[in-house]
Structures are given as C-alpha cells and as structure tokens.
Amino acid sequence: MVVINIPQPTVSVTPLDVDTRMTALRKMLEIRLTEEKIQEMFLANLIRGTTHLCIGQEGVSTGVASALRKGDTVTCTYRGHGHALALGMSVKAMIAEMMGKTSGCCKGKGGSMHMTDASIGLLGANAIVGAQLPIAVGAALTASMKNTGAISVTFFGDAATNIGAFHESLNLASVWKLPVIFVCENNRYGEYSPQHWTTPVENLSVRAASYNIPGVTVDGQDVETVHAEFKVAAERARAGEGPTFLEMKTYRYLGHSRTDTGPYRPPGELDAWKERDPILLLKVKMIADGQLDEVEFGELRDAAERHVAEAVEWAKQEPYPTEADLLTDIFYEG
C-alpha cells in the first residue's frame, strides 16, 4: 500500500468563506472538465502536437489564484491550463488556442504549451523547463521599481528544481529582495522519472536555504491550505521582504503528455492520491459544513461540463489564421 505523507500546515488554516469556497470548487471543476475534454480532443486528433494536463493538481493553481490581486503576474509551464483558467482565462480562448484558431488567446501562435493572457496577468506558459522563472523575476523587478505592490508568481515542477535557471532565479530574487513567489508543484515525476532518480532530496523546500529565503512544504491538495500558506508568502512579498519558495505536494493523474500511460507508477499510488483529490477534499468539507450537497455538486459538475462542451463547439467554428498572419507579431511595428 502506498502511504502519502501529508505536510502539516505551517500557518493556521482557517476555512474560507462560503463564496470563496464555491468559487474555488467551480474553478477546479472547470479545470478538471476542460482538461478531460482536451485529452479527448487530442486523442481524436482535434488538437495537434502534444498536451500536458494537470488533472489532480487543480488545488494548487486554484488556491494560489484565490490569493492574488489584480496587477499580480504569473508565469508557468506547458502544464499551464489550470493556471490560466484559475486566473480567469475563458475556456473558449483556451480551446480555440489549442485548436490553432485566431480567436485563441495567442491567435493560435502559442498552442497548448504557451497559454498567455496579459489582461489577467498571465505572462506566459513556457515550454522550456525553468525558463519562466527568470521572467517572473523580471516582472517582480518592475513591481518593485514601480512600487505597484504587485507580486509575481511562477509555477514550475519538481524536476525543474534541478536546472540552472531555478538556482539563478532564486538567488537573484533574494539578492534583490524582489516580490516573487516560487511555487513548485511537486507531482513526484519529471516526465517518466520519479523524483528520487533525479533529485537527491525529498522535500524540495530545503533548497530555499541556499538563498536565505523561506522554504515551505505545503499540502497542495487542500486548496485552503494552499491559499493560507501562499497568502503569508504574498504578504511578505508585498511588504518588501522578498521571495518565498513554496513546495506544493501534489500529483498528476494522467501521463506526462500525449499518450503516456504512466507505467512507472508504483501500484496503488494513483489510487492513494485520488483519495486526496483536491475537488473531493473541498467538496467533503463543504458538505460537512452544510454548504453543499451531492445534488448541488452534481449540478455544478454538469454546468461545468456544458460550459466546456459549448466552448468546444464554438471553437470548432472559429477561423484559422491565414497567410496574412504569417509574419505578424514577430516585431512590434511602430
């Protein structure tokens, strides 16, 4: 049997108010159902290339987004659909992007790995492991120089903590005391390699000590814990006290990408994690607190499903870019 170590909160985790909980639940369902649909579309050849889904990890993006303010910025990875939706990207813009349509968030020029929407602070998902961290440091530099009070968040995986850009970014952010929160989504695998093959420490948060910044290991499956731990880091950052490294323990239910079926998982691991599903955990709390019942939950789920299905139907009708779009958006002309 696989036993999951649940990190204990380092701050007091008070229940979020019912509206915030409901918003988080809806958001997580939207992410979940969008991702399921994307997988379906990918297998049906409606989406080309590759796609990296975040099913199982919705608690992290949703919990973090719930603690952000307007003006805050985010960079993330190719596994970025959850972050984009949590920040407020429309399912339509996302699906259209994935289909390479002009009405996609990046006019079809980004694709699954590059979800970007400046208007919601999403500065870009990145397909090069680690490359989004320096960019987030730069966004924090702007916030710091312009005294906007904004923070910069960057999401990355466990395996990304082995690349040079991770190290350099944490160091630079610390030296310049910039308002960046480094959020590691430790889903235990980098592609097909379990963490311990590539990374000689178990809790990645220990790496924060190299930069003299706080490092916290967080239960990434409990959206309220994520919210609470993140909030403390955000407040430090907004107060000019510099960066924090948060390691969110989480799990991806699907393969790394495309058709990976996850043969590398120990038996039982997936099931054990599913018992700590972020949607389930919040649902159970809300039911226990009398804020939700199974019927209502079913309705929320159905609504999300319809919403996603509508977006897909809409996106299918949208136009593709044409030759006129080939050389645009490379340089700003003016």
Partner 1 sequence: MPVLTYREAVRNALADEMRADENVVFFGEDVAAAGGVFKTTPGLQEEFGSKRVRDTPISEEAFIGAALGAAITGLRPVAELMFADFIPVAMDQIVNQIAKYRYMSGGQFMVPLTIRSAQGGGVGFGTQHSQTAENWLLNTPGLKIVLPGTPVDAYGLLRGAIRENNPVIVLEHKGLYNLKGEVPDDTGVLELGKAKVVRAGRHVTVVGAQLMVHRALEAAETLAKDGIEVEVIDLRTLAPLDTATVLESIKKTGRLVVVEEAPHTSSWGGDLASLAADEGIYYLDAPVKRVNMGRAMFAYSEPLETLAIPSVERITAAIRETAYTQ
Ligand X SMILES: Cc1ncc(C[n+]2csc(CCOP(=O)(O)OP(=O)(O)O)c2C)c(N)n1
Count the neighbouring beta carbons within 10 Å of the beta carbon of residue 103: 17
Taking CB under 8 A as the rule, does residue 191 contact a copy of itself?
no
Chain residues that interact with Mg ion, rule: CB under 5 A: 157-158, 187, 189-190
Work out which of 27, 79, 101, 207 binds a copy of itself, going by CB under 8 A.
207
Closest approach, Cβ 237 to ligand X, in A, equals: 23
Report 120-139 residues binding partner 1 (CB under 8 A): 123-124, 126-131, 133-139
At 76 the three-state DSSP class reads: strand
CB-based contact 180:151 (threshold 8 Å): yes
CB-based contact 245:216 (threshold 8 Å): yes
Work out which of 20, 102, 198, 257 binds a copy of itself, going by CB under 8 A.
198
Q: How far apart, in whole angstroms, are the C-alpha atoms of residue 75 and residue 115?
A: 10
Closest approach, Cβ 202 to a copy of itself, in A, equals: 9
Residue of 18, 6, 20 whose CA lies nearest to 231: 20
Taking CB under 8 A as the rule, does residue 180 contact a copy of itself?
no
3-state secondary structure 298-324: HHHHHHHHHHHHHHHHHHHHCCCCCHH
Closest approach, Cβ 8 to partner 1, in A, equals: 28
210 interacts with, out of partner 1, a copy of itself, ligand X, none, CB within 5 to 8 A per kind: a copy of itself
Work out which of 20, 39, 148, 171 binds a copy of itself, going by CB under 8 A.
171
**Nearer residue to a copy of itself within complex by CB, 160 or 228:** 160
DSSP E strands, 198-285: 215-219, 244-249
**Nearer residue to a copy of itself within complex by CB, 65 or 160:** 160
Q: How far apart, in whole angstroms, are the C-alpha atoms of residue 30 and residue 303?
A: 9
Chain residues that interact with ligand X, rule: CB under 6 A: 77, 79, 127-129, 156-160, 185, 187, 189-191, 256
Taking CB under 8 A as the rule, does residue 75 contact partner 1?
yes
Closest approach, Cβ 130 to a copy of itself, in A, equals: 9
Work out which of 57, 62, 112, 174 binds a copy of itself, going by CB under 8 A.
174
DSSP string, 11-36: S--PPPPHHHHHHHHHHHHHHHHHHH
Q: How far apart, in whole angstroms, are the C-alpha atoms of residue 61 and residue 57?
A: 7
Which residues sit at the interface with a copy of itself, rule CB under 8 A? 162-168, 171-172, 174-175, 197-201, 206-207, 209-213
